[in-house]
Amino acid sequence: PHVDGNRLADDFDAEAARVREALVRHGLVPVAMNTAAEPFPHRRSDPSGNARRRAVFSALARLARGIGVGTAGVYPGWWIPADY
C-alpha cells in the first residue's frame, strides 16, 4: 500500500494501523520499501524543511521496522541549479 509519509509523521498509530490492515487483507509480506519526502534531501537551507523531513523519515523507519522491512530506499530528489 501507499504510505503518506506526512500522515505517518503526524499520526503514526493510525497510519501504521491502516498499512498493517491492508497488508493482512491482501496477504502481503513486505520485504522492502521505497521512500521519499518533501522537501527533497538536497534542499537543506530551510531549517523547518529539515525538521519535517527528519520527522517523516523517522516515522518511515519506525514503520519499516514494525512491519519487518529490512531494506528501504530513499529517493533523493533531483539537482536543479536554481535551487542553489
Encode pLDDT of 7-38 as tens digits: 999 999 999 999 999 999 999 999 999 887 77
Please write the tens of the pLDDT for every residue from 66-83: 999 999 888 776 666 655
Please give the C-alpha separations between residue 34 and each of 47, 73, 74, in angstroms, as whole numbers. 24, 5, 6
Residue 80, classed as helix, strand or coil, is coil
- Can you point out the beta strands (E) in 1-83? 32-35, 71-74
- Taken in order 81, 48, 73, 15, the sign of the CA dihedral is negative
What pTM does this model have?
0.81
CB of 19 closer than 8 Å to CB of 63: yes
Encoded amino acid at 80, one letter: I
